[in-house]
């Protein structure tokens, strides 16, 4: 589930590679959950409302300008982001709760060196009911991994004090 939720951030080729590695160590399909936790969703467009609600909690005042730009310039991107990514996957908390989802998103975004998105999801972790301690843990562990892996970040990542209680980040 964590690979599905974060795969939309780092890309399907990496999801497929992770899947191939996972199935090489799982003895058989019977030893794994093989039914989709989302098989109750027959029409993905019905997830739009759930996606908007989840995004509004994370992005708040930043959301409407963002959606308006997508509506005006690239409506298909809005469908992908709102209906599929947030509506179908990110907002589904049946396996991984929203705080852990935020931690996973932070961990996937920091190595990509995308400060605005890191800031949004750091703030989203707090807005999803997480604590400063949980936020700092996700940030610290990811920064440690980035350091161990010798990933050079060109941008200064936001810190907890930069995002907590900030209504708008752009």
User: 8 lies in a domain?
Assistant: yes
**CATH number of the structural domain spanning residue 76:** 1.20.1290
pTM of the model: 0.89
SS3 166: coil
In a domain, 170, yes or no: no
What is the pLDDT confidence band of residue 166, given thresholds at 50, 70 and 90? confident
**Residue 114 neighbours by CB distance under 10 Å:** 17
The total of structural domains in the chain comes to 1
* 33 is a domain residue: no
Q: How far apart are the first and last CA of the chain?
A: 30
Higher pLDDT among residues 170 and 166, named by residue: 166
- How many of the other CB atoms lie within 10 Å of CB of 60? 17
pLDDT at 170 over 60: no
Report, as an integer, the average pLDDT of 118-143. 96
Whether residue 69 has pLDDT greater than 80: yes
Contact 101, 93 (CB under 8 A): yes
Q: What is the mean pLDDT of the chain?
A: 91
pLDDT of the residue at 39: 80
Task: Calculate the alpha carbon distances from 117 to 18, 40, 41, 123, 127 in Å.
Answer: 23, 30, 28, 10, 15
Asked whether residue 75 is domain-assigned, the answer is yes
Given a contact cutoff of 8 angstroms between Cβ atoms, the answer to whether 109 and 103 are in contact is no
* pLDDT, tens only, 13-64: 888 898 899 888 987 887 777 677 788 787 776 789 999 999 999 999 889 9
Q: What is the pLDDT of residue 37?
A: 78
Around Cβ 5, how many Cβ atoms within 10 Å?
19
In a domain, 142, yes or no: yes
Domain that residue 120 falls in: 2-27+46-163
Average pLDDT over residues 64-84: 93
169 falls within a domain: no
Sign of dihedral through CA atoms 105, 106, 109, 111?
negative
The DSSP letter of residue 131 is: -
Is 38 a domain residue?
no
Q: CB within 8 A of 98, min separation 6: which ones?
A: 54, 91, 128, 129
* Cα–Cα distance for residue pair 123/163, rounded to 1 Å: 5
Domain membership of residue 134 (yes or no) is: yes
């Amino acid at each position: 589930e964590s690979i599905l939720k974060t795969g939309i951030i780092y890309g399907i080729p990496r999801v497929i590679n992770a899947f191939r590695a996972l199935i090489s160590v799982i003895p058989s399909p019977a030893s794994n959950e093989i039914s989709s936790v989302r098989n109750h969703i027959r029409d993905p467009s019905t997830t739009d409302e759930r996606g908007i609600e989840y995004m509004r909690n994370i992005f708040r005042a930043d959301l409407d300008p963002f959606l308006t730009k997508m509506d005006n310039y690239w409506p298909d991107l809005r469908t992908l982001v709102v209906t599929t990514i947030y509506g179908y996957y990110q907002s589904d908390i049946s396996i991984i709760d929203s705080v852990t989802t935020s931690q996973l998103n932070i961990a996937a975004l920091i190595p990509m060196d995308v400060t605005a998105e890191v800031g949004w999801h750091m703030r989203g972790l707090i807005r999803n009911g997480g604590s400063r301690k949980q936020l700092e843990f996700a940030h610290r562990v990811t920064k440690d991994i980035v350091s161990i892996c010798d990933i050079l970040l060109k941008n200064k990542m936001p810190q907890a004090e930069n995002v907590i209680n900030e209504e708008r980040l752009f």
